[in-house]
A and B are shown apart, each in its own frame.
Chain A
């Protein structure tokens, strides 16, 4: 998606009467607002529940606003879950994975887009073929490799497989292909080799794509449940997702505490999203290239 597309575009209606179209726009807003309410309702209910007592949260008929607002749910949550440790694990794994993926994808993407070497097409085809295979097919083998290297229950174990993404390589290749060759030639005339051209000329120009790839990777890394569940069999270095899934077994029907945990665990990424909306949207739009 282009920047222009993200910012919106000028009004396209010209012939229909301005009064009628403004009238129509109210109806459209009404429908959209209704849909937005449905979309947001679960979050509102979650927020309201957090400040209720467990008894109030599970009574019928339910109360809408908390009768005696309490922050006890947060106290219970932070008192019984090593949340800060889990957060450290999630953030470390995320940073490691994002840096790793950007480095691997940018290097390979540049080579595939801008250098010629025997087997280039074949190798690229091999990478792209991996895009179509469901990730579960790799799980057993990845688990065994991590185990055989003695890396189970470690933070690198959480991050390493996600660093190597055919999608990331494809995305970076597309970005480098779209940079006009003139820049590269200018750098070459100045005596820059492939590495310098890559670092000083190409990489800065591919920055928007790298930002989009970084936020997408962050999203996947933060949300991942199945892989962390598998590689932390002893329970050390469990990220927020696994901790949260375990919370349910621990607190069963203590809904205010569960809702508080769900909020606290989701908040970091929601905040990042609100700050970096553009990158999220362009990342998603470019993931459309996948098909």
Chain B
């Protein structure tokens, strides 16, 4: 916006020449042409065809036939779909439970005068490790017979479980991995938010005799709320689209728990690219879009209650 104001006088004076913020339709269209072609061909058009297909019965080969809202009515009566929706919702809720941990850790990292960079790198490692690789490691750790987790639990006197082979625990087990994987990203975004809090606020409140805990709840948390809101929105959007962890941690020939642990996107993948039922898959994708839109909208509504903008 500043740039607009700053460049407006020359814009008026040199209207006829090319360049700057003056009208330059030729160059403008030429420069957005690659982006426009790609986005329309690979995003806008696929979006429209998926939307169209959700109202059609599409065989593996050949054209589809229009069936109205059949896919949607079938979807609403499909227990596997509701199961997948519940699983995705539970996974999302578990990831949100991890956010307080991220806030506390981000605040603690800001507290130390040395070693900040080191902690950031360590916490960030899971982010830059292949999700597929991470899933394999955790699958081994979760193994019911000889996994590390059950061994540690047995030393603590707790009974082990078949974490990734018993549908009671699968989403929780995967959710813990999800928290572990996304912590590094959240710490960076929250860290940026923390660094924008003016230090003199802490100085002033310390003069007034406020302790660390009081400062955290009275200064840090309110001023961090815009960043926290952003992290919450991003977490919900990405958690509702979880696919890799289920695909690698649960998929095997004899894991019966997979049937009850599918997420929306996993169900979508199976319908579209394993069973080639594209019409039904398209309807799943459209419902996912609506779920994400509603979830995001609700969060934007709720933000008025807890997000503090100055």
Contacts and interface: CB of A to CB of B under 8 A. Distances in A.
Nearest to A222: B130
* Size bracket of the A interface: 35 or more
A187 B125 CA distance: 43
Contact of A132 (B7, B148, B296): B296
B128 A288 contact: no
B48 to A, nearest CB: 8
Contact of A188 (B20, B34, B185, B229): B20
Interface string A1-21: 100010011011111100000
Interface in B237-280: 237, 240-241, 243-244, 247-248, 251-252, 265, 268-269, 272-273, 278
B297 to A, nearest CB: 11
Nearest to A233: B273
A205 interface: no
Interface in B139-193: 140-141, 143, 145-146, 148, 151, 154, 180, 183, 185, 188-189, 191-192
B206 A137 contact: no
Interface string B39-53: 101111111111001
Interface residues of B, number: 115
A118 B26 CA distance: 10
B116 interface: yes
A252 B272 CA distance: 26
Contact of B285 (A62, A132, A136): A136
Interface in B10-59: 10, 14, 17-25, 27-29, 31-32, 34-36, 38-39, 41-50, 53
Given A130-B43, A194-B18, A138 B50 contact: yes
Contact of B46 (A57, A140, A177, A241): A140
Contacts of B53: 140
A5 B146 contact: no
Nearest to A25: B112
A137 B124 contact: no
Interface stretch (B68-76, B78-86, B90-98, B286-294): B286-294
A116 B137 CA distance: 52
B225 interface: no
A24 B211 CA distance: 12
Contact of B188 (A1, A115, A143, A272): A1
B218 interface: no
B271 to A, nearest CB: 10
Contact of A140 (B151, B192, B282): B282
A111 B36 CA distance: 12
Interface in A29-46: 29, 31-32, 35-36, 39-40, 42-43, 45-46
A31 B241 CA distance: 32
B19 A192 contact: yes
**Interface residues of B: mostly helix, strand, loop or mixed?**
helix
Contacts of B199: 9, 12
A182 B29 CA distance: 24
A5 B133 CA distance: 32
A252 B29 CA distance: 53
A29 B122 CA distance: 14
B123 interface: yes
Contacts of A285: 188-189, 191-192
A33 B202 CA distance: 25
Given A39-B125, A223-B131, A240-B130, A111 B32 contact: yes
A127 B120 CA distance: 33
A266 interface: yes
A65 interface: no
Contacts of B122: 36, 39-40
Contact of A42 (B111, B134, B233): B134
Contact of B203 (A12, A29, A40): A12
Contact of A263 (B49, B126, B132, B133): B133
B302 interface: no
B60 interface: no
A255 B244 contact: no
Interface in A238-291: 240-241, 244-245, 247-249, 252, 255, 258-259, 261-263, 265-266, 269-270, 272-274, 277, 280-281, 284-285, 287-288, 290-291
A14 B286 CA distance: 55
B195 interface: yes
A8 B140 contact: no
Chain A CB count within 10 A is highest, among B17, B137, B199, B230, for B137
Can you list the 9 inter-chain pairs with the closest CB atoms, starting with the nearest? Answer: A141-B46, A164-B38, A117-B28, A262-B133, A181-B7, A108-B35, A12-B199, A111-B31, A117-B25
21 contacts: A5-B195, A43-B129, A49-B140, A60-B146, A108-B34, A111-B31, A123-B32, A132-B292, A134-B240, A134-B241, A137-B289, A138-B50, A142-B46, A160-B38, A169-B35, A188-B19, A188-B20, A194-B19, A198-B31, A248-B248, A266-B129
Given A115-B31, A245-B132, A265-B132, 13 more contacts: A11-B113, A32-B105, A39-B183, A126-B39, A136-B241, A138-B47, A140-B53, A145-B46, A177-B3, A195-B27, A225-B247, A266-B134, A281-B120
